[in-house]
Amino acid sequence: MVSFSTCSSSGIMNYMMKSEGSFYRVLIAPVGRSSIVLGQILEAVICTFLEVGIMSIVSSLLFSVKVATGLIGILLITLLVFLTSFFMADLSYVISLILPNEVVYETVMNAIVLPIFFLSSALFPIDGIKGVLAIAIKINPYYPCN
């Protein structure tokens, strides 16, 4: 969820850069456009890793959380966080270039991020839920598969 919110907020930078005029100055710079896009996407990925790192340190120090899978598990977690944040940052960047203003952008990104958050087990236990809501929770990619 940290990855989703950080990366969806990173697309707002395009609107800030457009309003200040720096977006168009970056476009005329002697740098490849793919490098510009990759740089903005990697900025969101680095911010995600910074936030995940802070949460990991706080959770291990204050709540004694330990990763039970060892070094291989930590590497796999790192890879999955990278891929998720890279995909979400890329998606938010593309959406921010398509939509006309930041109000519409925030509405679309909230329509993507919030259902995934509310259909996870982050807010309520999912054991006793039945019907259509149970089906929606089970097709959520972040449904715990224990």
Q: What is the pLDDT of residues 66-113, one digit of tens each?
A: 888 888 988 998 999 999 899 989 988 899 889 988 889 989 988 888
Give the residue from 47, 53, 44, 46 showing the smallest Cα distance to 89: 44
Report the largest interatomic distance among the alpha carbons of the chain, rounded to a whole angstrom.
58
Give the global pTM: 0.77
Among 10-14, 89-93, 113-117, 121-125, top mean pLDDT goes to 89-93
3-state helix, strand, coil in the chain (%, to 5): 75, 0, 25
- Give me the residue label for tokens 């807010």: 123
Report yes or no: 2 and 52 within 8 Å, Cβ to Cβ. Answer: yes
Q: What percent of the chain has pLDDT over 90?
A: 17
